[in-house]
């Protein structure tokens, strides 16, 4: 009986062309799109304009160092601040550096001099990278100027360097040393597409039967609701896992996205998430009045879940009410755990809370769905 029901559900899933295309193609299309988007991995060649109002040897040296910065690309040399401002407004440059008059003279005399740097903050990703690159150049220039000032006062070259550069702070990013955007975002965005497709499919689990004449046939045949929906659920979850396997193969095998944990443990974690995700969709399906309502409920749950999961914006920085709501969703525990598994792998004693949370969510949602369905 269970085998027949599972084959029947698989047939229904395959015959539904719209659902079949979403399940088979949604994640793969997303993978191609997102990897192409973030294929540069690190932002380089950020368009930069330099206004040199001094035109001295020192200012030309500063311009040269800006041009040698890894992430900056000098594309314009406007003659005034106003011209640079227009370039920023039109989006032709992201950074505008203004070297003031008497810059070279002040540097030679060891006086403090200010170099103005305007950064387009309308795009946070661009702005963050541009700020980092500009500060690196500024630190180098400042250090060189300080050493030259000490040399002009008669210091020995080595003494001047030791005195000015007595504290050398070196930053070293861990877990993602190159700050690769593709490593951080591609897998998460693909899995977000996958979880949305799965949620929409799971949202048809119960309403798909209660809305069909076959429901009456099952009742007359004496088929229990438990047998029917367990059979359907097993098929759905197996399909969800079959969808994700080629995605994982491409991401970890071909695109070299890091995975710092055991494959078996990671697949088990994904399976538990698929079960929890299916339970949420099943619960939405249980109290829906029709298939349209069920799809709406699924979308309401699936679409914002990634945003409030804490993956791209710290959960701790969100209002307390959103934090509590987010912890009720399996997506929060999965995407938080995903970050630990792919980059850090802190071990089972720490990660078991994520497994436990997904298991509890699945148990509660399936139980609530069974209770609601039994009264229909």
DSSP labels, 266-315: HHHHHHHHHHHHHHHHHHHHHS-SSHHHHHHHHHHHHHHHTGGGTSSS-G
Boundaries of domain holding 62: 46-164
**Amino acid 338: pLDDT:** 93
Model pLDDT, residue 220: 55
Does 7 fall in a domain?
yes
Nearest by Cα to 210 from 16, 369, 348: 369
Number of structural domains the chain divides into = 2
The confidence score (pLDDT) of residue 103 equals 84
Q: What is the three-class DSSP state of 40?
A: coil
> How far apart (Å, rounded) are the C-alpha atoms in residues 20 and 103?
66
- Is residue 230 located within the same domain as residue 348? yes
Rounded CA gap, 14 and 21, in Å?
9
Among 120, 137, 164, the domain-final residue is: 164
Confirm whether 56 is domain-assigned.
yes
Same domain flag for 79 and 228: no
**pLDDT tens-place values along the chain, 376 residues long:** 556 555 655 565 555 565 556 556 666 666 666 566 556 666 778 899 999 999 888 888 888 888 887 788 899 999 998 999 999 988 899 889 998 898 888 877 767 778 888 888 877 677 777 877 777 777 666 666 666 666 666 666 666 566 555 555 566 678 887 777 778 888 888 899 889 888 888 887 776 555 555 555 556 555 566 766 777 788 889 888 988 998 899 889 888 888 888 899 999 999 999 999 999 988 888 877 776 677 777 778 887 888 889 888 888 888 989 899 999 999 999 999 999 999 888 888 999 999 999 999 999 999 998 888 777 6
Burial (CB count within 10 angstroms: exposed 0-12, middle 13-18, buried 19+), residue 332: buried
Establish if 241 belongs to a structural domain. Answer: yes
Same domain, 33 and 60: no
């Amino acid at each position: 009986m269970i085998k027949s029901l599972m084959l029947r559900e698989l047939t229904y899933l395959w015959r539904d062309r719209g659902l079949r295309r979403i399940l088979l193609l949604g994640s793969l299309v997303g993978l191609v799109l997102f990897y192409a988007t973030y294929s540069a991995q690190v932002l380089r060649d950020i368009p930069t304009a330099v206004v040199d109002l001094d035109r001295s040897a020192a200012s030309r040296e500063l311009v040269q160092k800006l041009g040698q910065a890894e992430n900056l690309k000098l594309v314009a040399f406007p003659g005034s601040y106003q011209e640079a401002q227009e370039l920023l407004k039109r989006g032709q440059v992201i950074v505008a550096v203004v070297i003031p008059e008497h810059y070279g003279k002040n540097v030679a005399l060891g006086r403090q001099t200010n170099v103005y740097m305007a950064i387009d903050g309308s795009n946070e990703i661009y702005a963050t990278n541009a700020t980092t690159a500009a500060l690196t150049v500024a630190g180098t220039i400042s250090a060189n100027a300080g050493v030259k000032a000490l040399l002009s006062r008669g210091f020995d070259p080595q003494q001047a360097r030791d005195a000015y550069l007595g504290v050398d702070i070196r930053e070293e990013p861990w877990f993602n040393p190159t700050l690769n955007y593709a490593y951080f975002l591609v897998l998460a965005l693909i899995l977000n597409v996958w979880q949305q497709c799965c949620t929409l499919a799971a949202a048809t689990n119960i309403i798909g039967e209660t809305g069909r004449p076959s429901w009456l046939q099952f009742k007359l045949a004496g088929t229990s609701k438990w047998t029917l929906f367990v059979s359907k659920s097993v098929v759905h979850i197996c399909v969800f896992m079959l969808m994700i396997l080629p995605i994982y193969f491409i991401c970890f095998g071909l695109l070299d996205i890091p995975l710092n944990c055991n494959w078996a443990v990671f697949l088990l974690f994904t399976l538990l998430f698929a079960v929890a995700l299916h339970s949420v969709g099943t619960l939405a399906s249980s109290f829906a009045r029709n298939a349209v309502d069920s799809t709406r409920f699924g979308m309401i749950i699936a679409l914002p879940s990634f945003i409030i999961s804490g993956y791209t914006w710290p959960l701790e920085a969100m209002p307390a009410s959103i934090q509590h709501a987010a912890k009720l969703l399996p997506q929060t525990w999965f995407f938080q755990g995903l970050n630990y598994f792919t980059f850090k792998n802190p071990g089972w004693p720490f990660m078991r809370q994520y497994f436990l949370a997904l298991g509890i969510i699945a148990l509660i949602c399936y139980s609530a769905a069974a209770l609601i369905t039994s009264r229909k």
